[in-house]
Amino acid sequence: MTMTEISLDALLGRVQELLSYDSTSPLIFNSGVFLFLFVGFVTGYLLLRRANSLRLLYVIAFSLYFYYKSSGLYFLLLVGVSVSDYLIGHAIAGSQDQRLKRRLVALSAIINLAMLGYFKYTNFFIEMANGLFGAGFLDFKNIFLPVGISFFVFQSMSYTIDIYRGAIRPLSRWSDFLFYLSFFPQLVAGPIVRAKDFIPQIRKPLIVTREMFGRGICFIIAGLIKKAIISDYISLNFVDRIFDEPALYSGFECLMGIYGYALQIYCDFSGYSDMAIGIALLLGFRFPKNFDAPYKSATITEFWRRWHISLSSWLRDYLYISLGGNRKGKVRTYINLLLTMLLGGLWHGAAVRFVLWGALHGVALAIHKMWMSIAPWAKADGRDMNFVVRLLGGIFTFNLVCLGWLLFRAEDMQTVHLMLYQIANNFNSAIIPQFIEGYKAVVGLIVIGYAMHFIPEKIDSDIQCKVAGASFWWQVAMLTATVWCVMQIKSSDIQPFIYFQF
């Protein structure tokens, strides 16, 4: 076999690998494969910048390929949802019968939630039934969960609900709706972009201003630092070890494991959101902010105005308000808050730990709401508090949220019990110097991560402006340096984003 034939075989093998779905290697933003594909994609995107319809079809094709590389043939579910809700949306808008409109929007919800329920909760109910009635009562089927199904289902539901409410008109082209639903930057892990915010941008001429390009690069750099450097490193080298065997560690180490996970999940998810927002800006689209330094919150209500803003606002607008919100008395308001957060917990996954996590936040929100009705000086938004009250409220809120993260991360309640027991009964503060010495890199990254998070808003804004206003080649140099750092620190395997499982 000649060198030419070997090279050709290698090239064909590489092409086949790029076109094939591998469940163990989903296509994610912080991988070298995505960087290679994105450079090629952008080249074609720019060539089609004046051919609007062809450019949109080109993006749809790449988005479906991107989703195929994440979930295989389940990309057809996305296409199916786009067809059903596109048709239902037109039927709602075209009907004058209010009762029929309600039935149509209910049909959309049933189709979407039934699909979500089947893929997300069937395994859970089978396990629960076998636990109650004995092993083998139901045949266990390990049903694959398509990546990001919770995100595109919520986006699609918001489209039909907004048409029903008269907030938007249905799209005249199915391809535009498919573009909205499948747009790859936010497809698999959000943010959950509302149709009324995104649809007006679809048919606009492609314009990427100097400011959009600079801020896009800034968001991508921040996202890579958060996810691929801070989150992945402290997860693999510290947090996972603590949660896997908490009995082997002191209470101080268990507490640091919880604080480490709080930083890990924030950097992981907000890092993805930053990269999604940055990539969208490079393509000429604007996404709303999804995180706003949530651990600065001084109340639990403020936390949910800063954490995963696209989900919390979706739950508020489409679930909490639909349940009656605060319009039906105080007791009903508290019940609605609890139900909303319980269902928000279930949205994250079919497991008791997610239900308990949702219940904790629901009860906390209800108690805070009750406290505000008793004490008129109490604030929903801690930004208006004086410094001392805000500091004390921030410490309490952060630790309450971390208790929730313990429930969220632990594989079972035994792990929760063990970690709390170690913290309460075997804290062992004498180990702190040894801990710092043994985990220098981890401690350093945790300090850097929290420093980045708690940096004053003005300084953060000034840094963004400086990066966005730098010359093109300085921006390329900063991005290249960040990618180099990622390559130096990353493990042998690319770590998937935590919210891929939701």
Predicted confidence (pLDDT) per residue in 367-419, tens digit: 998 888 777 666 666 667 778 888 888 999 999 999 999 999 998 889 999 99
pTM above 0.75, yes or no: yes
Tens-digit pLDDT profile for residues 232-280? 899 989 999 999 999 999 999 999 999 999 999 999 999 989 999 999 9
State the pLDDT confidence band at 327, using cuts at 50, 70 and 90: confident
CA contacts within 13 A on the Cβ side of 454: 15
Predicted confidence at residue 241, as pLDDT, reads: 93
Nearest Cα neighbor of 470 from 223, 292, 216 is: 216
For residue 483, give both structure tokens.
């990618």
Distance CA 409, CA 406 (A): 5
Distance CA 197, CA 313 (A): 13
Distance CA 200, CA 260 (A): 40
Burial code (b: 16+ CB inside 10 Å, e: under 16) for 364-384 equals: bbbebbbeeeeeeebbeebee
Distance CA 267, CA 232 (A): 9
Predicted confidence at residue 150, as pLDDT, reads: 85
Tens-digit pLDDT profile for residues 86-124? 999 999 998 888 999 999 999 999 999 999 888 888 877
The mean of the pLDDT values for the chain is 86
More confident residue, 327 or 229: 229
Distance CA 452, CA 178 (A): 37
Nearest Cα neighbor of 155 from 212, 98, 116 is: 116
Predicted confidence at residue 181, as pLDDT, reads: 93
In a 10 Å sphere around its CB, with 0-12 CB exposed, 13-18 middle and 19+ buried, how is residue 307 labelled?
Answer: buried
List active site positions.
348
Mean pLDDT confidence for 115-140: 74
